[in-house]
């Protein structure tokens, strides 16, 4: 089915065409029939399926059909990165409509956001805490919201925002005066409770496939000792030669360390963690999305909601502790029907997380057994990395000291027929 068949306004169709959208995705086809008719919807859909466009198209089309007093839309997102991304997509799809869009999130000052609200905003996209702060200060009114979207609901609840969501739902207009759309990777108990209490007989829609992961993602799992992960990673990058890669680590310090080791091995990159200044985080994301930066290392702050056009590969340098994060991480690639690759390095430190992941996705991740020539020399070997904000970034071992990663004499480099992991005697750093 194509968008021309939906009888949308000509201005909206122009914006959709500008985005390069022609055929509806499954989630769009299943939801728009109900949402364009004004029905509340609760949608279970995995990331990267076109759900953002589904609720934006609904808002843009229906804003023209409701009374002026109820045309404002409020979109709640779990992170500032997702809020900024939704704002950007809304401005592109609605570029031929006379509507104003703004995003509201913490980590930055209030002045610009308050000025924007005073000038008038038709579509407000924001994180729960900042939305409530602005409402309490009297600069943002939720009383006449005609369209409410709760995006990434499961992530909002995981992050502890359920009380804030309830506060917002009590402050917006009554359910009979607004259309509410909830989107979540899983329609969990909290999501269904919200639907029962605050939505008007919502149509429940599920477009999540049985295996939970996108079929166009090629998944590979490598069992490797933690001290040789970087060597194997360099071999994989040389073999596959991806144009763009998003690497995930579980800890902020490991993200910075991996970033700097990749840099020393000839892969210029940026790293993204939650404690970076907001302006820097947004710049890094923009540079990565535009292709100015081709390699980025991140913690799970980037695992949800980021739409990176044409991302070739996702690397789980660490197996995530929360099984759902595996699905969200690899969902950064193979979006909107495109293909992509997800590589996972399972070391002894995080191997216990694998069982939960494979149970969640109802599948075994295909295991690849690399040959010895896949383990390339690491140019950062022997360096000790510390945060740039702390002690010196690196130092070399004193003369005569065994370098981290140095093999003890006599250990043959052979295959691993009896063990999942390569292991060498190394000092940690």
CATH number at residue 75: 3.40.50.300
In a domain? residue 318: yes
Considering the domain boundaries, does residue 227 fall inside one?
A: yes
- Look up tokens 């991302």; give the residue: 311
With respect to residue 126, please indicate whether it lies within any of the assigned structural domains. yes
Is residue 407 included in any domain, yes or no?
A: no
- Could you tell me if 128 and 238 lie in one domain? no
* Structural domain span for residue 170: 3-206
- What average pLDDT does range 290-302 have in this prediction? 88
d(CA 56, CA 28): 11
- As for how many domains the chain has, the answer is 2
Domain boundary pick from 374, 396, 417: 374
From the list 261, 274, 343, the residue with the least C-alpha distance to 302 is 274
> Token pair of 290, please?
């535009």
- Residue 326 phi, psi (nearest 5): -65, -45
Are 52 and 125 found together in one domain?
Answer: yes
Q: Of 358, 374, 390, which marks where a domain is finished?
A: 374
- Which of 163, 194, 167, 164 lies closest to 180, judged by CA? 194
In a domain, 385, yes or no: no
Q: Residues 222, 186: one domain?
A: no
Q: What is the mean pLDDT of the chain?
A: 84
pLDDT value, residue 325: 84
**Are 74 and 123 in the same domain?**
yes
Residue 180 and residue 42 share a domain:
yes
pLDDT at 300: 83
Joined tokens for residue 360: 């969640």
Do residue 199 and residue 225 come from a single domain? no
Residues 17 and 148 in one domain: yes
pLDDT at 122 over 50: yes
Question: Which range, of 54-68, 130-144, 400-414, averages the lowest pLDDT?
Answer: 400-414
Has residue 212 been placed in a domain? no
3-class secondary-structure state, position 94: coil
Half-sphere exposure of 402 (CA within 13 A, CB side): 12
Residue 309's nearest CA partner among 55, 48, 33 is 48
3-state secondary structure of 114: helix
In tens, the pLDDT along 21-51 reads: 888 988 999 999 999 999 999 998 876 678 9
Instruction: Say if residue 107 is in the same domain as residue 17.
Output: yes
pLDDT at 151: 95
Do 255 and 146 fall into the same domain? Answer: no
Number of H helices, E strands in the chain: 14, 13
Q: What is the pLDDT of residues 48-60, one digit of tens each?
A: 678 999 999 999 9
CB–CB of 405/362 below 8 Å? no
**Long-range CB contacts (< 8 A, 24+ apart) of 128-131?**
128/76, 128/156, 128/161, 128/164, 128/165, 128/168, 129/161, 129/164, 130/104, 130/105, 130/106, 131/74, 131/76, 131/104, 131/168
Query: Is 85 part of any domain?
Result: yes
Inform me whether the pLDDT recorded for 216 exceeds 80.
Answer: no
For residue 270, the model assigns a pLDDT of 94
**In this predicted structure, which of 230-239, 342-351, 378-387 has the lowest mean pLDDT?**
378-387
Q: Of 356, 374, 392, which residue constitutes the final position of a domain?
A: 374
Asked whether residue 279 falls in the same domain as residue 145, the answer is no
- 400-425 in b/e form (b: 16+ CB < 10 A) is eeeebbeeeeeeeeeeeeeeeebeee
Q: Is residue 413 part of a domain?
A: no
pLDDT tens figures, 334-344 = 665 567 899 99
Residue 317, pLDDT score: 97
pTM of the model: 0.64
Do 193 and 237 have their domain in common?
A: no
- Asked if 264 and 173 sit in the same domain, the reply is no
């Amino acid at each position: 089915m194509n968008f021309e068949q939906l009888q949308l306004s000509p201005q909206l169709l122009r914006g959709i065409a500008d985005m390069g959208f022609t055929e509806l995705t499954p989630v769009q086809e299943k939801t728009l029939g109900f949402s364009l008719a004004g029905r509340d919807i609760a949608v279970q859909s995995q990331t990267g399926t076109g759900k953002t466009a589904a609720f934006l198209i609904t808002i843009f089309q229906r804003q023209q059909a409701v009374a002026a007093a109820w045309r404002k839309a409020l979109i709640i997102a779990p992170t500032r990165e997702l809020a900024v991304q939704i704002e950007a997509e809304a401005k592109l799809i609605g570029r031929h409509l006379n509507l104003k869009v703004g995003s509201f999130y913490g980590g930055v000052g209030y002045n610009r956001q308050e000025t924007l609200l005073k000038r008038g905003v038709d579509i407000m996209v924001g994180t729960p805490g900042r939305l409530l702060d602005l409402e309490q200060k009297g600069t943002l009114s939720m009383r006449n919201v005609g369209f409410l979207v709760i995006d990434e609901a499961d992530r909002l609840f995981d992050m502890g925002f359920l009380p804030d969501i309830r506060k917002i739902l009590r402050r917006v207009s009554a359910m009979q005066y607004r259309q509410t759309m909830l989107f979540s990777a899983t329609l969990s108990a909290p999501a269904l409770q919200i639907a029962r209490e605050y939505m008007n007989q919502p149509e429940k829609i599920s477009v999540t496939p049985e295996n939970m992961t996108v079929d166009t993602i090629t998944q590979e799992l490598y069992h490797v000792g933690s001290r040789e992960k970087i060597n194997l990673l360099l071999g994989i990058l040389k073999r596959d030669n991806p144009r763009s890669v998003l690497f995930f680590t579980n800890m902020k310090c490991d993200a910075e360390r991996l970033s700097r080791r990749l840099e020393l091995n000839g892969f210029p990159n940026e790293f993204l963690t939650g404690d970076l200044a907001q302006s820097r985080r947004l710049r890094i994301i923009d540079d990565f999305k535009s292709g100015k930066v081709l390699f980025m290392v991140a913690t799970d702050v980037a695992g949800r909601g980021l739409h990176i056009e044409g991302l070739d590969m996702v690397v789980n340098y660490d197996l995530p502790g929360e099984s759902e994060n595996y699905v969200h991480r690899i969902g950064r690639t193979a979006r909107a029907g495109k293909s992509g690759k997800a590589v996972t390095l399972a070391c002894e430190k995080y191997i216990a997380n694998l069982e939960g992941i494979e149970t969640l996705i109802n599948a075994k991740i295909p295991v690849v057994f690399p040959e010895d020539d896949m383990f390339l020399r690491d140019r950062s070997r022997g360096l000790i990395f510390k945060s740039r904000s702390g002690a010196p970034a690196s130092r070399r071992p004193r003369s005569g000291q065994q370098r981290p990663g140095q093999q003890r004499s006599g250990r043959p480099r052979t295959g691993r027929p009896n063990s999942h992991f390569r292991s060498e005697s190394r000092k940690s750093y």
